[in-house]
């Protein structure tokens, strides 16, 4: 009887040890063992789509598994972000997080997820400065003369945006507030129609992302007055930043990163981060990013999480101070 009790006790002890080691074994299971899915919450053909496919290709090379890019556009880029927020946290569903779905939309209070807490943010992929561009017919050669012109004619000049609550709308509203300008904001259903009307002279000015505005500036079809980055652009070194133009703290970017659902194992997040940083460090990718106006990022998961939180706070303050609201 005594021997039987000892055997039973030993068996229970072994089962307890086995149960305790199973979670650790699960955490060290090989990953990835199957294709990954990268949700790009924008339509095919846009800069975000190009960037997402570039990220997918590089992750494929780094991780040894295919990365299937899935475009899930809609609701101001929040639809695709919601898909990822609700996905299984197993490391096989990723998001091309961005300034719209993780920044401006939450600032206006219209998203079904927490842009910080509901994601495991992996790495900042890159940032894109915005350009204040005007139609060449506007009689202003630089930022100072443009401000003087608009102040002299309140309500005459207008500012096109890609839509209500877009990055360009936030930048434009901040500019008008800081410079004390009376301009009419004209929202469009995207960057393309706003650009067409700017080129045609139907609107006077637009805050555009560098990849969209740059070619038209080089062709002298648009005039670049200032950039929202912390430093001048390599392609247009003669054009000052807004900070240099007399607006301290006026820094605004469109940005993209890599994120996963909340609860994704830290080991997976760290491996994704390492893979993304290796990819971003390659001369080929840095050159490709530079050619489309993107400055490559270099962050840890903690740094990218803090970056997203700071952007949400910034855009929330802007929404409150400028009156930008969701439609």
- Helical segments of the chain, H only: 2-27, 47-63, 78-85, 105-107, 143-152, 167-179, 191-200, 210-218, 266-281, 283-291, 301-322
Q: What is the pLDDT of residue 206?
A: 98
Q: What is the pLDDT of residue 295?
A: 93
Pick the closest to residue 294 from 286, 302, 305, 306 (CA basis). 286
For residue 32, say if its preceding peptide bond is cis, omega within 30 degrees of 0.
Answer: yes
Q: What is the pLDDT of residue 2?
A: 44
DSSP bridge partners of 134: 205, 223
Q: What is the pLDDT of residue 296?
A: 95
What DSSP element (H or E) covers 224? strand 223-227
pLDDT lower than 50: segments of the chain: 1-15, 17-27
List of domains in the chain: 36-127+252-322 (3.40.190.150), 129-227 (3.40.190.10)
Q: What is the pLDDT of residue 23?
A: 45
CB 191 within 8 A of CB 162: yes
Task: Please give the structure tokens belonging to residue 312.
Answer: 């949400």
d(CA 293, CA 126): 10
Measured in degrees and rounded to the nearest 5, phi and psi for residue 296 equal -65, 140
């Amino acid at each position: 009887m005594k021997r039987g009790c000892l055997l039973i006790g030993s068996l229970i002890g072994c089962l307890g040890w086995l149960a305790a080691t199973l979670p650790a074994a699960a955490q060290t299971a090989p990953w990835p063992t199957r294709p990954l899915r990268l949700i790009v919450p924008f339509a095919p053909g846009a800069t975000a789509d190009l960037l997402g496919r570039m990220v997918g290709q590089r992750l494929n090379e780094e991780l040894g598994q295919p990365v299937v890019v899935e475009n899930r556009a809609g609701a101001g880029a929040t639809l695709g972000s919601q898909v990822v927020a609700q996905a299984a946290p197993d490391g096989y569903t990723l998001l091309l997080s961005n300034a719209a779905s993780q920044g401006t939309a939450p600032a206006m209070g219209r998203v079904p997820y927490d842009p910080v807490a509901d994601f495991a943010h992996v790495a900042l992929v890159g940032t894109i400065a915005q350009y204040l561009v005007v139609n060449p017919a506007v009689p202003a050669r630089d930022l100072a003369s443009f401000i003087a012109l608009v102040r002299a004619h309140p309500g005459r000049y207008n500012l096109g945006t890609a839509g209500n609550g877009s990055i360009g709308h936030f930048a434009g509203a901040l500019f008008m507030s800081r410079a004390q300008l009376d301009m009419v904001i004209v929202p469009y259903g995207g960057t393309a129609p706003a650009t067409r009307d700017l080129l045609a002279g139907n609107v006077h000015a637009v805050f555009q992302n560098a990849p969209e505005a740059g070619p038209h500036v080089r062709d002298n079809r648009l005039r670049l007055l200032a950039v929202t980055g912390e430093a001048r652009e390599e392609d247009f070194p003669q054009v000052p930043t807004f900070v240099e133009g007399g607006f301290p703290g006026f820094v605004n970017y469109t940005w993209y990163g890599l994120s996963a659902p909340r609860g994704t194992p830290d080991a997976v997040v760290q491996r994704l981060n390492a893979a993304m940083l290796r990819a971003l460090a390659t001369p080929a990718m840095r050159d490709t990013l530079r050619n489309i106006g993107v400055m490559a990022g270099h962050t840890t998961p903690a740094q990218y999480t803090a970056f997203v939180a700071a952007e949400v706070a910034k855009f929330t303050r802007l929404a409150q101070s400028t009156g930008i609201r969701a439609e």
